[in-house]
Structure 1
């Protein structure tokens, strides 16, 4: 008699357990980091924020949504989509990501682009490519971490080198895969999906498209750096360029972890880790909270208005066609 095969593990349960452990790890790290902090000191630091610099940070955040849309616009070489629509989609995606579990925001993008005739496979493939270029856009700013006298710890330099190594491997993979095939070798849904994905990657090999998407990524990261600088100025914190770039790098690396809506918890932990030894507990948390707020709060009302406006236009279009 043959013994019965063991029942497959419940992947959903395993993912929930892993996610719960990660959340617990973040919570424990925050507790240890903030242990003994004076809440009054934190409130004093927040209350003294200069609204003029905060306005600069918010404007930089809004502008970064436009540069993200520019990256998407560059990748759509065949099915051209109106740029104002891409900007509205970006705001809607960011708003959904701020109030929903991880990854839900990108489903909003898939839905909007599906109405424009872009298949799910193409959208998902371009999302991965856009994420790669967004990460690549941070690379030019990492130079400050190696400046003499930058004062960044050794672990930060090691993380930066690892970050570069991963992006290099991804670059080689994209170049090798981004070759437009003549057609699916055989019939089949999976082969069709692979064919569509590789076809959508084809334009990225063109120097013009590559440079435009890359420039959009660098501009987006530059605006993130402007926002971080403005938040530091608003709170009266003297943070060097190396520390601010390390903050952005730490946030970027923390994105690989499963998170609560809006990166709640992991964002703060990343910022506190990057500013440890430079800022006190209260100042570090004040910087983390305000920097996080300027990234999330402006996007929610703007994105909600965008989604409401698109729904209204769609309803009118359906009535007119009826």
Structure 2
């Protein structure tokens, strides 16, 4: 018999096979897309990058971690945490996500918030809510894809409509689930977990919290777009607003796929797919690599410093309390 809480061997094998096939598909698509590319031209594009615009992109990325923390500050009404701590946790989570398999970064968040008195069920539920709002924050920018003369291909418009349809369904489900729950009529661990999860959505039911989450999400996506514009300017690539929004949409959709640490491979494939027809192979790969690097590389040292600072403060608090 399989131990309680451990997935069956057949399921684990199936997950490994599906993950391997997805990685293989991404690898094949990259090889096909970049076949015949001139590495020398790629190096020329990368070497000519303007470091001043790259600095703008990095600053926008760092600022987006603060706006994400604003969203968490709005949701955590039951357990009020100091905002600087939430910012450090956000940097720590992003650093963990950059160097570990998918989902591990959020386990770091669960651990940090658990030490601050936030139950696992509450954290996991709010993570799903934050992900929803993060996706919702991209919606206002999708309007540029329908502008006359935007030049985006038909498949991009279809993906945008599908994205809106999925978010509409999620909105209906969240509004339905977020209603004040009744206590379970019968005892049971699963019923208790569901009740606790729905109870933790209490803060989201308040219009003020809902509005703060929406504003924080739009601000985060604005900073993502600023970073994309800055990277394009750094590499002297003339990309329209519609193409850059399509890049963000493609990256967002690629997040549903199992990935290597830091979205390595799937991120580049998403960017290359979005810029195909607008940039050459070398220019497209250069943009993908630099845009990915400005998101991942600064987060690792900043996140490690945030984790170290949080641990030191925790130890001092524990010593002072004894």
Matching residue of 1:122: 122
Aligned to 2:21: 21
Whole-Å Cα distance in 1 between the matches of residues 63 and 57 of structure 2? 10
Q: Does 1:287 align with 2:263?
A: no
Tell me the residue number matched to 1:5: none
Instruction: Tell me the secondary structure at the aligned position of residue 10 of structure 1.
Output: helix
CA–CA distance in structure 2, aligned partners of residues 124 and 205 of structure 1: 17
Partner of residue 67, structure 1: 67
2:121–2:193 contact (8 Å) kept in structure 1 = yes
Q: For 1:172, what is the secondary structure of its paired residue?
A: helix
State the 1:202 CA deviation.
Answer: 2.1
Query: Distance in 1 between the 2:256 and 2:317 partners?
Result: 40
Q: Tell me the alpha carbon deviations over residues 17-55 of structure 1, each in whole angstroms, 9 at most, x when there is no partner.
A: 000000000000000000000101000000000000000
Q: How many pairs are equivalent?
A: 315
Distance apart, 1:201 and its partner CA: 1.2
Counterparts of 2:46 and 2:278 in 1: how far apart (Å)? Answer: 18
Q: 2: distance between equivalents of 1:200 and 1:315?
A: 29
| Superposed CA offset, 1:101-153 (max 9, x none) | 01000000000000111100000000000000000000000000000000000
Residue in 2 aligned with 1:103?
A: 103
- CA deviation string 1:58-114 (max 9, x = no partner): 000000000000011111122211111110000000000000001000000000000
Instruction: Map residues 42-57 of structure 1 onto 2, 5 A cutoff.
Output: 42-57=42-57
TM-score by length of 1: 0.96
Q: CA deviation at 1:182?
A: 3.7
Q: Aligned equivalents of 2:217 and 2:287: distance in 1? A: 24
Match of 2:4 in 1: none
CA distance in 2, matches of 1:190, 1:182: 15
Equivalent residue runs for 1:158-237 within 5 Å: 158-237=158-237
Of 150-159 and 304-313, the range deviating more from structure 2: 304-313
For each residue in 1:183-208, what CA deviation from the matched residue of structure 2 results, as whole angstroms up to 9, or x when unmatched? 23222211111111001112212211
Are 1:38 and 2:38 counterparts? Answer: yes
| Unaligned segments of structure 2, at least 5 residues | 1-7
Moved more, 188-197 or 223-232: 188-197
Give, in angstroms, the shift of residue 181 of structure 1.
1.8
Cα-to-partner distance string for 1:223-258 (whole Å, 9 max, x where unaligned): 000000000000000000000000000000000000
* 2: CA distance, partners of 1:295 / 1:35: 26
Q: Give the conservation status (yes or no) of the 8 Å contact 2:137–2:217.
A: yes
Question: What's the CA shift string for 1:4-25, capped at 9, x where partnerless?
Answer: xxxx761111101000000000
Q: TM-score, normalised by structure 2?
A: 0.96
Output the CA distance in 2 between the equivalents of 1:261 and 1:66. 22
